[in-house]
Amino acid sequence: MTNFDANPFAHRSTLTFELPLFSIIKEEHYLPAFQAGMQQQLDEVQAILNAPGDATFENTIVALEKSGKILERVSLVFFNKTSSDTNDALEAMRAEIAPKLSAHHDAIMLNPQFFARIKNLFDNRDSLNLSSEDAWLLEKYYKDLIQAGAHLSDAQRARLTELNGQLSKLSTQFSKNLLADTNDLAIVVDSAEELDGLTANQISAAATAASDRGLAGKWLLAQVNFTGNPLLDSLTNRDLRKRIMQASLQKGNQNNANDNKKILLEMVKLRAERAQLFGVNSHAEHITAVQTAENPSNIHAMLKKIAPAAVKNAQLEAEDLKKSAGNEIESWDWGFYTEKVRLEKYSIDTAKMQPYFELERVLHDGVFFAANKLFGITFKERPDLVTYHPEARAFEVSNEDGSPLGLFIGDFFTRDSKRGGAWMNSLVKQNYLLDQLPVVVNNLNIPKPPAGQPALLTLDFTTTLFHEFGHALHGLLSRVKYPRVSGTAVQRDFVEFPSQVNEMWIMWPEVLNNYARHYETGEVMPQEWVDSLNAASTFNEGFATTSYLAAAVLDLAWHSLTSEEAAGVTDVEAFEAKALAGYGLDFAPVPTRYRSTYFSHIFDGGYSAGYYGYIWSEVLDADTVDWFKENGGLQRKNGDHFRDTLLGRGGSIDSMQMFRNFRGRDSKIEPLLKRRGLL
């Protein structure tokens, strides 16, 4: 046995569902596994190229699907770990491995012999007698290679490799800077009196967070990844609200060691130069060519249908808030006075709802309950299974007949070692080719309560939990042959669609009455509160839509620059201001959801020129919610149809064709406009 044979990534795990061997994985295992994994895949690709006889689907595409499994195992574990529980040693490894992985990817994808082999198969695909799933996979690989630049000249490919390596380094540094700055900008509060308006649970969580940083006797209000903070809705102390908001807006923009301005400007320039290599005008043009949107013009056409009405609604909302406040509304006032107006108009006090949104009830009696009713699947916690962190809990998921479906891992609480936001990762991807069932992870950033106290969620956190579990369902319910198209491996502007659909069950009466119960008394949340929430469904949508659109427009603005234009941008804040003003979205009380220096979605998250995808997907989501309502809602027949035509298909067929197979027609935008109060 060689030394590497003892590495926990050397072989497929023998644990339940191939759960990685977290009990024995150590930091020193990662780099050797990356090195061995890259070499293994290069050898496997060379074996494909050296295969005797003509290229076939089996000896090329299927062989490629089976390649690189050591690298896949270590990558899935490592990058989940660095996003959810990182440290200095792991960050140093990430900085070291990122350019090597980029070069490895390019060594395969930009190999002219490899491209010629797959192009030959693609050109002769009609004579290969392929199944529809096989034909689609071949087309995906061919388009992947074109998108990667395999068809370019030798000189262009060489420069492309350089650009990709530089971008991977910059992206890693952007993420590292942002985590450090977000932690540094947490607000330390010296007296409990300053926290007036927060619940006892929130105050206790802030005390625990301070204690964890060695600040016993104080309170720590952690920053979140987006602009603002949920605590702004409740804090009565206006000066403290202002401190929180102003600090939030400065993430990655303090002219210190963690400043991200130079990094993002360089990334924008390099992406624009890379687009030029591909013969297109901009990074946005290159990226959207393989999305359902097809080109930036289609995106702008949709956003411009929405933006004017959204800003108008936000301005009307601001007038209402001004009446309540008795003064002009600043960004740090919006959430606080929104809650006051919500109470005045609809008798809704969201703070009083938190005792009805206790984490365990929401999870078991809400999220899992809805999935069981819709798909017949069940969940059993497995405390015997060791995960990557003590707070990450494993649940065995079974089909209605008791057969195994997969493993779900929930990691719900915030910590300094976890990046902001919420997301889903895969640790094992479902596929029939290698007979693997899925292992998926949901990460959230809920403030951790003191030991022995319940975690009481806001309505926003409850929404996030349902949303992210929609991604988890997309991974768990996958039933495809090939790893390349498993689960969420769909077009980027389609991936948010299933997760947004899952949010519909939050307020569905059968689900809500099952989970929204007072954590002490067990009483159901009062019906008048529910009625008020439904009546206020479009309340504050002007703010929400304007804030989101501003971020989407910023993303498109940065990535629509030509190489020459990108080289001329030196002032990040001035560029942001001009981009938002050009769209009519420059309304100071409603800042963009992400400023550029902390916009990790587009500078470290795979959403560059793709943040529009949330609202693009919401068009499909709103239309789908209407379908469920028209067909009886939370019923197995509806869940089975959704699973069979869409969720279970992963990326094994065209995304929009999947939607048509489910809905019976193309999507319509009217349900979205109605939902957001924009008709």
The catalytic site residues sit at: 468
Backbone angles phi, psi at 423, to 5 degrees: -160, 170
User: From CA 401, how far away is CA 375, in angstroms rounded?
Assistant: 12
Q: How far apart are CA 619 and CA 623, in angstroms?
A: 6
Q: Which residue has the tokens 């009483």?
A: 523
Which residue, 336, 182, 346, 322, is CA-closest to 256?
182
Tell me how long the chain is: 679
d(CA 424, CA 172): 19
* Pairing outcome for strands 187-189 and 219-221: antiparallel
**Half-sphere exposure of residue 90: CA atoms within 13 angstroms, side-chain side:** 18
Contacts of 44-49 with CB under 8 Å at 24 or more apart are 44/68, 45/108, 45/111, 45/114, 48/114, 48/117, 49/111, 49/113, 49/114, 49/117
Amino acid at 311: V
Please give the backbone phi and psi of residue 394, each rounded to the nearest 5 degrees, phi first: -100, 140
Sheet bearing 393-398, strands edge to edge: 378-381, 393-398, 404-413, 439-446, 423-428
What separation in angstroms does the CA of 63 have from each of 119, 134, 147, 174, 411?
Answer: 16, 13, 21, 36, 35
d(CA 115, CA 147): 12
Among candidates 338, 320, 318, 316, which has minimal Cα distance to 329?
318
Question: CB–CB of 132/653 below 8 Å?
Answer: yes
Can you point out the beta strands (E) in 154-291? Answer: 187-189, 219-221
Tally Cβ neighbours within 10 Å of residue 119: 17
Distances (CA, A) of 59 to 46, 55, 425: 12, 7, 30
DSSP string, 306-333: HHHHHHHHHHHHHHHHHHHHTSPPPHHH
How far is residue 259 from each of residues 178, 253, 443, 596, 597, measured CA to CA in Å? 8, 5, 26, 11, 8
For 342, the enclosing helix (H) or strand (E) is helix 331-346
* Helix (H) or strand (E) run with residue 445 in it: strand 439-446
